[in-house]
Structure 1
Amino acid sequence: MQRTDRAPAWAGALAGLTAGAVALGVAQLAAGIVGPKTFPVVAVGDVVVDLTPPPVKDFAINAFGANDKTVLVGGVLVVLALIAAALGVAARRRPVYGDAGLLAFGAVGVLAVLTRPGAGAAWVVPTVAGVAAGMWTLRALVRRAGLASRAVPAYEPADADADADADRMADTDRMADADRTADVDGTVADRAVAGRAADGESGPQAGPEPGPEIERPVVMRPGAYGAGGFDRRRLLTGVAGGVVVAGAATVLGRALGSRQAVDVARGGLALPSPATPAAPLPAGTDFRIGGLSPFVTRNRDFYRVDTALVVPQVDPRAWRLRVHGMVDRPIELTFDDLLGRPLTEADITLTCVSNPVGGEYIGNARWLGVRMADVLREAGLQSGADMLLSTSEDGFTCGTPVDVVMDGRDALFAVAMNGEVLPVDHGFPVRQVVPGLYGYVSATKWVVDVKVTRFDRDEAYWTPRGWAAQAPIKTQSRIDLPRQGTTLRSGRTTVAGVAWAQHTGIEAVEVRVDRGEWRRARLAAVPGPDTWRQWALDWDAAPGRHTIEVRATDAAGRTQAEQQTPPAPDGATGWHTITVQVT
């Protein structure tokens, strides 16, 4: 009689988690050599971003803000951890189950990697290496700790008498088999019994040795798991070794794929002086009211919304900008070529189309770069061209109207931000900055390619996902002070915020309390029509609960719409409204 014993489920899950960690660590190490975009977790995350319906993306941006990518990668890792644990539990029954699961998810990783722009055969190396390491680790832990199920005998001999009893039982079983065979064909099939009869032996008293085909039953003591049994200590020491390997590989891989080389190159750059510097900011540009957004947004505080899970690390020495398509003379520029051209400095506010009413996806900075119009004139725009399809180093594309870039505004291939070399997170070494358009149709970071084309021939990344092909910024305003839901003391207080209508400018801002009369706020000075504008209003707050609304009117006389609409497909509308309590 036999039974099947199996190690506890937690042991299999721990082995699976360790194997998964080793797989990801080795993949990270290989990706550090091949390139950060080849890390399978990032590739899968990128595919998820591409396939996610726009409403879900909007929810992620609104719910998590700049942390949306961290949340996505974390979610992918949690799912992988759960799957790895399940594969470890399954491997207790048969190790091949763990192999099959790891191979399946390796195939998913390979397919995801190969869908990325610029993918080549070498891009699959991190995934393949990680899967191989994971399979080896899981099998090693299963063997080391005796995790696999096995059939074990049911009895163990305690002494010599038990041995004799076992021999007699075996003989009896063997003769019974012979009798059953004789019943079938009239012959005795038990060769062992026939042999004893020929030698003059009879009966079981002779104590025959069991033949090689007979296994001696043994009794298994409680807790035994076959040969060697489940060994908790060997499992835990093996897991500790796997964790060390996974951690070391991850740290080394990140170091290899880190931005160190790019940071060194960025830190060594000296920016040329602008041929056309921006004028000093006029007096009164910033009210300097506590809690009010400053006129100039510091680089570290500037919003970031893009599709890159891993920030591209572009060496300026290897960077190239290709301008081609419907042009007479295609151009390819190096970074040194760009810096050698006349540079323009301009104050420009950028806004994300995902910004809800009252949202924070907006910032103002002083940019330095080459005018896009100058480069396009040199290339020679052909008749009929109405779209610039720009491509980021990570494959993102956006479509910018040609007429907007060529109408005289300061549309730039920017290389600096607020007097510093462009930060890596914001597009180093070169990005587009086009005033008056939402970022998804104008502000390509890490730009490497500009195709002059037509809107009826090409589509940019967000257009087939339900967003407008052309998206001029809508007039909007926001209340920064006081904050929604705050409690104020009665008496004179300041209501303040910002309003924007890039490339038109803000003419007036009005505020009303509890749906009373609109009152005009005082406006700060601005250097031009391409930036936001601070506004402020003194309010004598009486005790009670109050609703405060704001609306802006641009320099063309257009007052922002009252009706609230979501960001999709071409930018949110509505008056920003808050409630406060006054005591």
Structure 2
Amino acid sequence: MQSNSVVPAWARALMGLVAGGVALGIAQLVAAFAGAKSSPVVAVGDAAIDLTPAPVKDFAIRAFGENDKTVLIAGVLIVVLGGIAPLIGTLAVRRLAYGYAGLAVFAAIGLAAVLTRPDAGIPDVLPTVVGVAAGAWTLGWLVRRATAIQPASATQPASARQPGSGTGPGSATEPPSATQPRSATESGGAGEDGNGGGRDGVERPAVMLAGADLWTFDRRRLLTGAAGGAVVAIGGAVLGQALGGRRAVDAARVRVALPRPATPAKPIPAGADFHIRGLSPFITNNRDFYRVDTALVVPQVDPDAWKLRIHGLVDRPVELTYQELLGMPLTEADVTLTCVSNEVGGEYVGNARWLGVRMAEVLRRAGLRSGADMLLSTSADGFTCGTPVDVIMDGRDALFAIAMNGEALPVAHGFPVRQVVPGLYGYVSATKWVVDIKVTRFDQDEAYWTPRGWAAKGPIKTQSRIDVPKSGDSVKAGRATIAGVAWAQHTGVDAVEVRVDQGQWRQARLAEVPGPDTWRQWSIDWDATAGQHTIQVRATDAAGRTQTEQEAPPAPDGATGWHTITVNVT
């Protein structure tokens, strides 16, 4: 048994920190080789997402945007490495078995998170088991490097070892007790080197244990060992990430030869884009397209191994490979997607040209049974969403999409296959990395977000946004341009109105659009006068419904209200 008083607190924390880092780094590396779906950190993070109340998730999206997963991963690492690992190091110095027990608890949490993931198997268990084993070995190795037993006879002064001056009966000299500190020279304290160590630079605090042996702390050996452990931890994590299928999937994506569409999209009208600086372009570049999903780490799905299963309330279950999907008649369509988390005037909306197979065609192959009203789609990372069957079958361009803006889907946007459904918020339609469709009923199944307080069905609400100028901008007095975008998928935008300082509503000029499923640019001229001004916008869809002034948050079925900004004119 070793005493914590021998080893400084920073050293105990360092041992645990390095051991924990090795455990996580090796786990990441093993996950890459074993084909596991995720490392323990990602599994714990996924579980945390599942258990987090909806209001907290909404706050995370608002506060961190597309970086919310990165923040969560960082939080898990801080808790594990900043809180749990140092405690394990302290326990290990007290008794190594205690440290191992702490790691066992750490392993149990990781295994519980991993095994509760969808389709978990043996390969998913290996990273946690091997990683914790590596961490346990590292912990024991560091403890042994940092501490050693110094026999009392090796440090006693010569006078104490003279005949007749021993510690037996009749001795004139009493042995030092375990609670009585030795002199600075004897204990390796402030001695000849003046810095708390002996001639060899090794610290020997004055703590004596059973058998009159002295436990010593070797700072130099600990630091060199910790440095080696840090290299292993960082190297394992980096290499594991690199080998986790990313290169293979990226290479497979580049090799995809996109077939020509059987039904091409209409040409984009020449007047679809006003080309006003600061105004969102009609087509959103792939790199600029928003991303909001529950995946902590972007799934790396091999298209050669990908399959789409259609089952449930169907006459003939269907299973399609990627090549079979590419061999079906493809449809090209311009569709704007919107996230239900988007605040009024928010950025979680974008427009792209998609290529894919009509979902209705695949469902007809399976044969929908009477009473089926919901498609429960499942992503490769376990996310589910429920889509109304009638929307898919009403003739709109609802797609199993394989391409985005003329190239195979970016991995972050669902490669190899995702859903695109005009007119529905993404949480009930836009499943990325889709692998499974269960034809079912809303009264029999629930998707991921429904039990978390969101509406089961999410038709997109008519919205408009001011892009130019931005709220808080300074504008020069005189003729100025106010411009933005408006959307009302699958109905279409028929009018946009703008007013300044609660004045009269004025009709904005509208850009051309190829159909009702995309957003629409608008602009209006304004004679700006000096001072602070408030600008508001509202849109009216093709069915005559005007965007409501009533403000509502995104939950449970999408935000409402007029986008309002304030600018200063000088």
* TM-score scaled by length of structure 2: 0.91
Paired AA for residue 122 in structure 2:
A
Deviation at 1:318, TM superposition (A): 1.1
2:517 to 509, 530, 548: 530
Deviation at 1:172, TM superposition (A): 4.2
Paired AA for residue 158 in structure 2:
D
Per the alignment, in what secondary structure is the counterpart of residue 169 of structure 2? helix
- Assess if the C-alpha contact under 8 Å between 1:483 and 1:578 holds in 2: yes
- Assess if the C-alpha contact under 8 Å between 2:496 and 2:522 holds in 1: yes
Query: Who is 1:140 aligned against?
Result: 141
Deviation at 1:240, TM superposition (A): 1.5
Within 5 Å, which residues of 2 pair with 1:379-418? 379-418=366-405
Deviations 1:354-394 (A, max 9, x none): 00111000000000111111111121111111111111111
Query: Who is 1:78 aligned against?
Result: 78
Distance 1:4 1:384 in 2: 68
Distance 2:4 2:68 in 1: 48
- Assess if the C-alpha contact under 8 Å between 1:157 and 1:163 holds in 2: no
Per the alignment, in what secondary structure is the counterpart of residue 170 of structure 1? coil
Matched pairs, number: 538
- Which is worse superposed, 13-22 or 457-466? 13-22
Deviations 1:246-279 (A, max 9, x none): 2222232222213111111111111110011011
Q: Does structure 1 residue 361 correspond to structure 2 residue 348?
A: yes
Within 5 Å, which residues of 2 pair with 1:46-125? 46-82=46-82, 83-125=84-126
Residue segments in structure 1 that go unaligned for 5+ positions in a row: 174-203, 211-216
Paired AA for residue 136 in structure 1:
W
Within 5 Å, which residues of 2 pair with 1:321-360? 321-360=308-347
1:282 to 252, 263, 269: 269
Distance 1:95 1:273 in 2: 65
Deviation at 1:334, TM superposition (A): 1.0
Distance 1:97 1:329 in 2: 57
Query: Who is 1:158 aligned against?
Result: 157
Per the alignment, in what secondary structure is the counterpart of residue 284 of structure 1? helix
Query: Who is 2:187 aligned against?
Result: 221
Paired AA for residue 95 in structure 1:
L
1:495 to 476, 482, 493: 482
2:467 to 480, 486, 505: 480
- Which is worse superposed, 137-146 or 251-260? 251-260
Q: 1:338 to 1:96 in 2, by over 3 A?
A: same
Q: 1:446 to 1:156 in 2, by over 3 A?
A: closer
Query: Who is 1:195 aligned against?
Result: none
Q: Does structure 1 residue 171 correspond to structure 2 residue 172?
A: no
Paired AA for residue 489 in structure 1:
K
Query: Who is 2:17 aligned against?
Result: 17
Query: Who is 2:30 aligned against?
Result: 30
Query: Who is 2:210 aligned against?
Result: none
Per the alignment, in what secondary structure is the counterpart of residue 92 of structure 1? helix
Query: Who is 2:209 aligned against?
Result: none
Distance 1:48 1:284 in 2: 47
Distance 1:474 1:160 in 2: 92
Deviation at 1:163, TM superposition (A): 3.7
* TM-score scaled by length of structure 1: 0.89
Q: 1:392 to 1:218 in 2, by over 3 A?
A: closer
Deviation at 1:330, TM superposition (A): 1.4
Deviations 1:449-508 (A, max 9, x none): 111111111111111111000010000000111011111111111111000000000011
Higher Cα Rg: structure 1 or 2? Answer: 1
Deviations 1:397-452 (A, max 9, x none): 11111110111101111111111011111111111100000011111111111111
- Which is worse superposed, 221-230 or 385-394? 221-230
Q: 1:381 to 1:152 in 2, by over 3 A?
A: same
- Assess if the C-alpha contact under 8 Å between 2:35 and 2:123 holds in 1: no
Deviation at 1:114, TM superposition (A): 0.3
Query: Who is 1:264 aligned against?
Result: 251
Per the alignment, in what secondary structure is the counterpart of residue 20 of structure 1? helix
- Assess if the C-alpha contact under 8 Å between 1:36 and 1:310 holds in 2: no
Deviation at 1:152, TM superposition (A): 8.5
Paired AA for residue 71 in structure 2:
V
Distance 1:459 1:41 in 2: 27
- Assess if the C-alpha contact under 8 Å between 2:6 and 2:215 holds in 1: no
Q: Does structure 1 residue 577 correspond to structure 2 residue 564?
A: yes
- Assess if the C-alpha contact under 8 Å between 1:66 and 1:305 holds in 2: yes
Q: 1:396 to 1:488 in 2, by over 3 A?
A: same
Deviation at 1:36, TM superposition (A): 4.9
Distance 1:111 1:71 in 2: 22
Deviations 1:302-342 (A, max 9, x none): 11111111111111111111111111111111111111111
Residue segments in structure 2 that go unaligned for 5+ positions in a row: 176-180, 190-203, 206-212
Within 5 Å, which residues of 2 pair with 1:536-551? 536-551=523-538
Deviation at 1:110, TM superposition (A): 0.4
- Assess if the C-alpha contact under 8 Å between 1:10 and 1:89 holds in 2: no
Deviation at 1:154, TM superposition (A): 11
- Assess if the C-alpha contact under 8 Å between 2:150 and 2:215 holds in 1: no
- Assess if the C-alpha contact under 8 Å between 1:4 and 1:152 holds in 2: no
Distance 2:103 2:459 in 1: 48
Within 5 Å, which residues of 2 pair with 1:195-210? none
Paired AA for residue 80 in structure 1:
V
- Assess if the C-alpha contact under 8 Å between 1:157 and 1:218 holds in 2: no
Q: 1:261 to 1:162 in 2, by over 3 A?
A: closer
Deviation at 1:218, TM superposition (A): 8.2
Distance 2:106 2:445 in 1: 34
Q: 1:445 to 1:122 in 2, by over 3 A?
A: same
Within 5 Å, which residues of 2 pair with 1:424-463? 424-463=411-450
Deviation at 1:127, TM superposition (A): 0.7
